[in-house]
Structures are given as C-alpha cells and as structure tokens.
C-alpha cells in the first residue's frame, strides 16, 4: 500500500467461498492517503461502515445502508454462474427487487397491497433462490395477476446495483490521482495478524 494505487473503487465480492474485503484493509488504505470509494454491493455496505474513517459511498444502495433502511448483507447478495459463464446472475438481489417495486408503485402500476405482498415474499426467500418467478408465485395467487406483474417487471426492472456501480466508476475516473496529504484524524493500528496476511499477498 505504501507504493501503488491512489484511488480504489470497491463494488462487489464473493460470499461464502472467499473472504470478503476486510475492514482492516480499507482502513490501511485510508490511513495511507488512498481515496476509497464504495457502491452497489459490498462496496456500499463497507462504505456505510467506514464512512466515519473517510471512505466515500456512492449511490442509492449506500444511502440506504447509511440511513439504516437496510442492514443485512443478504440485501445485495445473489447467486451467479462460474467464471466460465461470465458470472451471469442466477438470482435477484433484494435491493434490485425493492428498487423495481418502488418504481412500479410510484408509477401506479401496482397498488400498495401488491407492493407489500411482493416485498414480503422477496424478503422471505433465500438469496440463492430469489428470482422474480419465485417472488411472483409466493406473493400472488392469481395466474393472471402474476402474468401481468411479470410483464411489468420485464419492461421496467431496475438494476440498482448496476446503476450505482456505474456511478462509482464515474467517481473514480473523476477523482484526483494523488494521495491525500492531510492526516485522517485517527491512527491505524498494525497487528501481527494483519502484517502476516499482508506479507502473504
């Protein structure tokens, strides 16, 4: 970290099979004057957690975490295909479901009762199994209603994670490519465990 990049943008990461980005890594970067931005997925979550130390959050998902409207990691989690298949998404993250339903409610395409049933159904489904088909089946008894709202989702689905990720990319591109020279106002504490992990690369 003493030599290297001056700006970091954190968007997403693996769950379960690989360790997520550690808070200590972010604090180390910030203490070295690196500008660190986060958005969309674990980037938004970490930005909300590390904002007090100088990490900059971008986008609606960060704002929801920062305001406490959402808290769980599972809000941004999804199942995806392996690298060989381009990591194609196989389930729908809850933040995208919420954004899509908010849009349909604002437009008057669904009513408050439908919004509540769909939101509750989506929240109750395990993230690896959360698809729009599963949500519609769990929330709506009428096949006609499922077909109607399914069509609305296909036409007006909001990919909030992608929107916020693009906003982060723009912020990183516009950021000064130089380290901050002012002291952060707090002191980074090295530990033997962190040092061991850092030397392992």
For the chain, the distance separating the N- and C-terminal CA atoms, rounded to the nearest angstrom, is 11
The pLDDT tens digits for 93-113 are: 999 999 999 999 999 999 999
Q: What length is written for the chain?
A: 201
Rounded Cα gap, residues 52 and 78, in angstroms: 28
> Is the separation of the CB atoms in 164 and 40 below 8 Å?
yes
CA atoms within 13 Å, Cβ hemisphere of 57: 23
pLDDT of residue 104: 98
HSE at residue 199, side-chain half, CA atoms within 13 A, is 6
Strands (DSSP E) along the chain, which ranges? 7-10, 35-39, 56-58
201, pLDDT greater than 60: no
- For the stretch 170-200, pLDDT in tens is 999 999 988 887 867 767 776 655 555 555 5
- The confidence score (pLDDT) of residue 83 equals 84
């Amino acid at each position: 970290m003493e030599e290297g990049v001056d700006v970091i943008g954190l968007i997403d990461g693996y769950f379960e099979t690989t360790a997520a980005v550690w808070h200590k890594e972010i604090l180390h970067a910030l203490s070295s004057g690196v500008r660190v931005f986060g958005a969309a997925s674990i980037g938004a979550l970490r930005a909300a957690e590390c904002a007090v130390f100088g990490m900059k959050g971008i986008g609606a998902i960060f704002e929801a975490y920062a305001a406490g409207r959402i808290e769980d990691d599972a809000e941004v989690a999804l199942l995806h295909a392996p690298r060989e298949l381009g990591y194609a998404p196989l389930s729908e993250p809850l933040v995208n479901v919420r954004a899509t339903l908010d849009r349909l409610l604002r437009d008057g395409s669904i009513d408050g009762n439908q919004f509540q049933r769909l939101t509750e159904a989506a929240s109750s489904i395990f993230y690896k199994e959360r698809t729009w088909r599963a949500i519609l089946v769990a929330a709506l008894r009428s096949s006609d209603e499922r077909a109607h709202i399914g069509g609305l989702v296909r036409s007006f689905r909001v990919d909030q994670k992608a929107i916020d990720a693009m906003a982060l990319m723009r912020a990183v591109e516009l950021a000064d490519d130089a380290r901050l020279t002012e002291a952060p106002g707090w002191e980074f504490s090295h530990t033997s465990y962190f040092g061991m992990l850092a030397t392992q690369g």
